[in-house]
Amino acid sequence: MLPISIVSASSYCREALGELPPLKALAREAIGRSVRRIGRFVELALVGAGRCVGGRTLPAETATYFTSTRGDLEVTLDVLVQMCEHGRLPAPFTFINTVGNTACFHVADSFGLSGPSQFVTSRYAPLEAALRLAALDLSEGRVTMALVGSTDVCTLPLAAHRERIGLSADTPVGEASHWFLLATGDSAGTPLGALRSVRSFPDAESLRVHLFQHPINFDRAALASGQHLTAERLKLFREATGNGPVFDYRSGLPFYDSQTGYGVHRFLTEPVARTLVHIEGDPSGRCTLLVVDAGNVGSGTGTGPVPDPNDPIPPRDSTRSPRDRRNV
C-alpha cells in the first residue's frame, strides 16, 4: 500500500440526555453557510466534515467516503410512519434524505468537490470499511485526496432507540461524527499521522498469524480494542503483540457504532505511542485490523515520551462527563 498521510481529523461525540441538542448552528459554523431541507443526520455529517476540512480549499477532485451503520434513522422512521401507519406518501425531500448518499452530496457540495462520492455501510467496523475503500483507491492512484467520515445519530424517545438497536435500558447512548482527510504525495503538507494498514480477516487465527509477520515495532506500539472485540480475543492479540500497552479510549464513551473514529482521533491528537494497532471483531468471528502511525510523537506536540510497553495506558479524563468529550 502506498504511504497514505492523515492530513487532518475531527471528532464530535456527545451523550444523548433527554432532548437531543440542536445542530443547525454548529453545521453553519463548520461549513460557513446554511443548508436548507436537511435533518440532524446530514447536519451532524457537516459538523464533522467541516471541522476536519478546517477552512482548507480542497482540490475539486477530492473523493468523499461516508459511512453509517444505521443511516438517517430519524428520517427513515418518519417515512415509515407516514407510509405504514397513515398511508401517505412522504414529502420528496424527506424521502431523498433516507438515502445515505444524500449526506455525501451535501458534504461534497459544501466544499466544491466533484470527485468520487460513495456511501459505505457495514454492521460492524463501519469506519474501517470506509477507510479500506478509500485506502484502496488512494493506493491504486484513482484519487490523491479523500475525505472519509462516519456519523451516528440517536432518535427520540431514547428508550425506544435503545430497544431498537438492542441495548439495555440503562446503556448510555450518543451521537458522533468522526472525519479524516487522507492524501498521498506532496498534497499532505505536515500530516497528523499515517494510515499504514486497514484489513479484514476471516477469523482471529488469520489475524494472529498476520501480526507475527507484519512489520510493526511492537515496542513502540499500543493495542486498542474495538467495541465488539471479546476479552478472550483481546488477550490472544496482546500475546501476539508482546503484551504491550492497551490504549483504553472507550472508557466512559456512550454507545454508538463508530467509536473507532474517536479512538483514532484521540490517538492522533494525543499520541501515547508511535503506532496504534486497533482491532475490531464481530459475532461471526471476523476481525478488522487498523494500523495508524502518529506524526508528532517526540516532536514536542505530543503527550511526552513513548511509555514503557509493560505499563498500561490509563483512560483519559475518566472523571470527565462523556458528553463533554467532543472537538469544539
Same fold, 4-188 and 193-320: yes
What pLDDT is attached to residue 290?
96
Name, in order, each residue with C-beta under 8 angstroms of 100's C-beta and a sequence gap of 6 or more: 66, 68, 71, 72, 119, 121
Kindly report the CA angle at 201 between 116 and 188, in degrees rounded to 5? 40
d(CA 72, CA 67): 11
d(CA 263, CA 229): 14
What pLDDT is attached to residue 304?
31
CB 188 within 8 A of CB 7: yes
What pLDDT is attached to residue 77?
63
What pLDDT is attached to residue 66?
96
Q: Which three cell numbers stand for residue 194?
A: 499515517
* Residue-range domain boundaries for the chain: 4-188, 193-320
The one-digit pLDDT tens for each residue of the chain (328 residues) are 667 999 999 999 999 998 899 999 999 999 999 998 888 999 999 999 999 999 999 999 999 999 998 877 677 667 667 778 778 887 777 776 677 778 899 999 999 999 999 999 888 999 999 999 999 999 999 999 999 999 999 999 999 999 999 999 999 999 999 999 999 977 656 899 999 999 999 999 999 999 888 778 878 899 999 999 999 999 989 888 887 789 999 999 999 999 999 999 999 999 999 999 999 999 999 999 999 999 854 333 333 333 333 333 333 332 233 333 333 2
Tell the CATH topology of 193-320: Peroxisomal Thiolase; Chain A, domain 1 (3.40.47)
d(CA 255, CA 263): 13
d(CA 124, CA 201): 13
What pLDDT is attached to residue 228?
95
What pLDDT is attached to residue 188?
58
- Where residue 295 falls (left for φ over 0; alpha for ψ -120 to 50; beta otherwise) is alpha
d(CA 273, CA 286): 26
User: The cell 445519530 sits on which residue?
Assistant: 153
Candidates 3.40.50.2300, 3.40.430.10, 3.20.20.70, 3.40.47.10; correct CATH number of 4-188? 3.40.47.10
